[in-house]
Amino acid sequence: MDFNNLPVLQMMTKKMSWLSHRTEIISQNVAHGDTPGFKAKDLKQVSFQELVRREGNQNGFAPSRTNQTHLVGMSARTPFATEAAPDAYETTLDKNDVSIEQQLTKLGETQMAYQTTLNLYRKHLDLLRTALTRPGR
């Protein structure tokens, strides 16, 4: 059985991929900390609710009402739109808005989120392996 085809593990893999790409963007910002006119970049935040709704509908694990007596769930849609606008802390005279301290803070947060997601991924794999092994082995 290929565990990588499970929707929950696919979503965690996508999150880790997003976090890896964000790390690259942040390191590019730090590398251009002294480049005149450089504007800091960041990735657009991903809504976990939207990801679960979209992935769930594609992979067939979205909740469905199979009986009229079942409660109707709330919609996962939100009226708020996300933007990829950087949160510029300060701009220098040469129009560079990269704050090294801010970028390093983002990098630390990104690394913590990656490590947390990786730990969850490993725990899910351990649970699946435990469930699939025979007792006494």
CB-based contacts of 78: which residues, under 8 Å, 6+ apart?
47, 49, 50
Q: Which amino acid would we find at residue 95? A: K
Query: Domain extents for the chain?
Result: 1-34+95-137
For residue 86, pLDDT beyond 60: no
For residue 132, pLDDT beyond 90: no
| DSSP H stretches of helix in 1-137 | 7-31, 48-59, 100-132
d(Cα 1, Cα 34) in Å, to the nearest integer?
Answer: 50
d(Cα 92, Cα 34) in Å, to the nearest integer?
Answer: 10
CB-based contacts of 34: which residues, under 8 Å, 6+ apart?
96
pLDDT, tens digit, 9 for 90 and up, residues 87-125: 666 777 888 888 888 889 999 999 999 999 999 999 999
In this structure, the number of other CB atoms found within 10 A of the CB of residue 79 comes to 4
Q: Which amino acid would we find at residue 54? A: R
CB-based contacts of 107: which residues, under 8 Å, 6+ apart?
23, 26, 27, 30
Q: Residue 56 — very low, low, confident or very high, per pLDDT cuts 50/70/90?
A: low
